[in-house]
Amino acid sequence: MTKNFDLSKPIAIGCDHAGVEYKDALKNYLEQKGYSVKDFGTHSTASVDYPDYAHAVSKSVEIGETCFGILFCGSANGVCITANKHQGIRAGLAWENDVAKLIRKHNNANVICMPARFVALPLVFEMTDNFITTEFEGGRHENRVNKIACS
C-alpha cells in the first residue's frame, strides 16, 4: 500500500458553490508551491449539486490520473460521503491539523474533504500541507485499511 503520494501527477480539486473561494485560493497556493492542480470545478457561486464534483475528483484519483483529491463543500460531509462511494477512495473529513495528519497516517486517505463554512482559509493551507507531507504509517493500520472496501 502506498505510503506517499506520487506528486509527479496533478492534484485533483473540486467543490460546490460553498467552496469556490477556498478551492480557488488553495489551487493558487498549491501552484505557487510548484504543484500541478487539475480543477474539476465548480467555478461560480451559483447553486450546484456537490456529488457532480465529488464524483469527478474521486474518479480521477481512483483511475490514477491524479495523485490525490481535495474537496470542499459547506460542511464537507456531502462531498465526503459521495467520494467514499468509490471503491478506490478513502476520503476523510478534516477540520483541524491533527485530523488532517491522522486521516493520512492511520487511514491512508487519498481525498481530503474540508468544510468551507467552518474553517479559516489559513487553516485550509496548513491542513493541506500536513495531508501532503504525512505518510501512511502502515503496520496495524494497513490491516484495518485493507478491510474497508466492500468486495
In a domain, 151, yes or no: no
pTM exceeds 0.85 for this model? yes
The yes-or-no answer on residue 73 being catalytic is yes
Query: 70-98, pLDDT tens digit by residue?
Result: 999 999 999 999 999 999 999 999 999 99
In a domain, 1, yes or no: no
List 15, 73, 80, 113, catalytic entry:
73
Residue 143 pLDDT > 80: yes
Domain, as residue range, for 96: 11-145
In a domain, 3, yes or no: no
In a domain, 5, yes or no: no
3-state secondary structure 93-133: ECCCHHHHHHHHHCCCCCEEEEECCCCCHHHHHHHHHHHHH
List 17, 55, 86, 106, catalytic entry:
106
Total domains in the chain come to 1
Query: 90-121, pLDDT tens digit by residue?
Result: 999 999 999 999 999 999 999 999 999 999 99
CATH number at residue 87: 3.40.1400.10
Cβ proximity of 111 and 57 under 8 Å: yes
* C-alpha–C-alpha distance, residues 115 and 22, integer Å: 10
- Mean pLDDT across the chain: 95
In a domain, 4, yes or no: no
